[in-house]
């Protein structure tokens, strides 16, 4: 790939920061508070602005409603702009209220389903008001014990509720449907895998697409294969990037398995060049987002690390010699196929990325520059003062 094309495709790759990844978060065992963690939306936008300022590839922030709910959305849009970012996907929250104990859009009680659907519709309105073009849906819905409920009845209610939401989507707005095999439901999850998600999207219509959260797979799942299938069907809507060792660990991207991320990107890079417009457009429109909860590491540092890793990995995937790979594939030369992937993966792209950053007026090393800035210390002091005796609470309460 020539330098100009490499640069163009590198620059087209941007990733959204999750507002909830900048707040205090924890596990079911506890939350260890970080003195600088953002709490109010203005703080989250300021922190997301820092990620963008140092990496140059995170120009949007995903919001979670009601955690980020405020009265004046045009003010939020302006505040985001002042921090050098825009509002990304709007995430409804139908998993915390008492009434959702036995499900939200699948609940057997029509009044609970209505409340959940109305919350989605409110999120569509927020997306319109903030200039966002996507709502991103994840459900804790499921059951904990065999025999607890009819899984088929829940499936029917899920579709009916989502059809009501879909009907309210304006032209150009996407509905991204995420899946997860287990947790918090421990017997069955209503949208447990990509197949369930795809089936729903196909029934709903073209504006519904599947969202792949890399942490939402059982051990050993071939995620790049799932990505390839969804691309081929034109139904891959986006990603939540994070890393994991065991389950939905929400670790910094690349912390555990950077080669898997590379193989996922290899599929996406290839799809962008596909002769089929359905596949190529699907890949180009894919919404890249982080979904990580750095509950032991400084929030912003962890997101900056993730941003650097995804950009490096994207650059490596761009370097795969596709013409040679095709030749090797046609000749069934497995060794050469593997070598070509490994060659790209082993290339040290850091000097190229440092050069790119400097050409954009960014520091060559985003994390080092952020650390030098003293931002965490500064906001820890400011936020402690601002909160006074108020106890800092995070995304999870």
Binding site for ligand PSV (CB under 6 A): 91, 138, 178, 180, 213, 240, 248, 291
213 or 243: CB nearest Mn ion: 213
Distance CA 283, CA 271 (A): 6
**CB-nearer residue toward Mn ion: 138 or 314:** 138
301 binds, among ligand PSV, Mn ion, none (CB under 5 to 8 A by kind): none
Question: Rule CB under 5 A: is residue 244 a binding residue for Mn ion?
Answer: no
Query: How many residues comprise the chain?
Result: 397
Nearest distance, CB of residue 293 and ligand PSV, angstroms? 7
- Collapsing DSSP to helix, strand or coil, 371 comes out as helix
Choosing among Mn ion, ligand PSV, none, which partner's interface includes residue 113 (Cβ < 5 to 8 Å by kind)? none
Q: Work out what residue 91 binds among Mn ion, ligand PSV, none; the CB cut-off runs from 5 to 8 Å by kind.
A: ligand PSV
Q: What is the dihedral of CA 214, 259, 20, 62, to 10 degrees?
A: -80
Picked from Mn ion, ligand PSV, none, the partner binding residue 383 (CB below 5 to 8 A depending on kind) is none
Least distance CB 89 / Mn ion (angstroms): 11
- Scanning 87-95, 184-192, 205-213, 316-324 for contacts with Mn ion by CB under 5 A, the matching segment is 205-213
Give the closest residue to 54 by CA, choosing from 388, 354, 383, 378: 354
Q: Which stretch binds Mn ion (CB under 5 A): 13-21, 41-49, 232-240, 333-341?
A: 232-240
Nearer to ligand PSV, 47 or 248 (CB): 248
60 binds, among ligand PSV, Mn ion, none (CB under 5 to 8 A by kind): none
| Closest residue to ligand PSV, based on beta-carbon distance | 138
> Least separation, in Å, of the C-beta of 42 and ligand PSV?
21
* Contact (CB, 8 A) for 33 and 86: no
| Cα 243 to Cα 251: distance, rounded to the nearest angstrom | 5
Q: Interface residues for Mn ion in 253-282 (CB under 5 A)? A: none
Contact in structure between 200 and 233 (CB atoms under 8 Å): no
Distance of CA 265 to the CA centre of its chain: 15
Q: Is 301 in the site for Mn ion (CB under 5 A)?
A: no
Residue closer to ligand PSV by CB (options 9, 244) is 244
For residue 156, the minimal CB distance to ligand PSV (Å) is 24
**Which has the closest alpha carbon to 341: 213, 217, 224, 221?**
224
DSSP letter string, 294-353:
-SSS-HHHHHHHHHHHHHHHHHHHHTS-HHHHHHHHHTT-HHHHHHHHHHHHHS--HHHH
∠ CA 249-176-181 to the nearest 5 degrees? 40
> CB of residue 180 vs ligand PSV: minimum separation in angstroms?
6
Least distance in Å: CB of 273 to ligand PSV? 29
Shortest Cβ 43–Mn ion spacing (Å):
22
User: What DSSP designation does 175 have?
Assistant: E
Residue the block writes with tokens 């970080």 = 34
Measured CA distances, 178 to 42, 52, 211, 358, 370 (Å): 27, 25, 5, 36, 32
DSSP 211-226: EEETTSS-TT--HHHH
- Residues binding Mn ion (CB under 5 A): 213, 240, 291
């Amino acid at each position: 790939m020539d330098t100009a094309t490499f640069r163009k495709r590198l620059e087209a790759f941007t990733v959204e920061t999750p507002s909830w990844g900048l707040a205090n978060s924890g596990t079911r065992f506890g939350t260890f508070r970080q003195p600088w963690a953002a709490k109010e939306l203005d703080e989250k936008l300021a922190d997301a602005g820092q990620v963008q300022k140092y990496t140059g590839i995170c120009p949007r922030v995903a919001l979670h409603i009601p955690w980020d709910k405020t009265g004046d959305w045009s003010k939020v849009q302006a505040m985001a702009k002042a921090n050098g970012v825009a509002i990304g996907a709007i995430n409804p929250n139908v998993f915390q209220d008492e009434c959702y104990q036995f499900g939200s859009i699948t609940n057997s009680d029509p009044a609970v389903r209505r409340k959940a659907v109305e919350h989605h519709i409110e999120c569509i309105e927020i997306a319109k008001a903030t200039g966002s073009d996507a709502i991103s849906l994840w459900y804790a819905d499921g059951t904990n014990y065999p025999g607890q409920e009819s899984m088929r009845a829940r499936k029917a209610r899920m579709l009916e509720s989502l059809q009501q939401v879909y009907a309210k989507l304006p032209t150009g707005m996407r509905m991204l449907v995420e899946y997860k095999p287990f947790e918090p439901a421990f017997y069955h999850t209503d949208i447990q895998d990509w197949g369930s998600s795809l089936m729903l999207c196909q029934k709903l219509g073209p504006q519904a697409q599947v969202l792949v959260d890399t942490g939402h797979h059982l051990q050993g799942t071939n995620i790049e294969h799932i990505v390839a299938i969804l691309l081929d069907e034109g139904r891959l809507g986006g990603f939540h990037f994070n890393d994991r060792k065991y389950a939905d660990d929400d670790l910094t991207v690349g912390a555990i398995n950077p080669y898997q991320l590379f193989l996922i990107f290899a599929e996406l890079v290839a799809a962008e060049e596909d002769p089929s417009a359905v596949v190529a457009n699907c890949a180009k429109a894919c919404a890249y987002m982080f979904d990580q909860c750095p509950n032991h590491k400084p929030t912003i540092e962890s997101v900056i690390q993730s941003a650097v890793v995804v950009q490096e990995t994207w650059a490596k995937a761009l370097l795969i010699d596709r013409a040679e790979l095709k030749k090797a594939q046609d000749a069934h030369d497995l060794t050469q196929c593997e070598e070509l992937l490994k060659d790209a993966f082993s290339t040290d792209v850091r000097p190229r990325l440092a050069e790119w950053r400097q050409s954009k007026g960014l520091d060559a090393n985003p994390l080092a520059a952020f650390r030098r800035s003293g931002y965490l210390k500064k906001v820890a002091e400011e936020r402690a003062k601002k909160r006074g005796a108020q106890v800092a609470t995070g995304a999870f309460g």
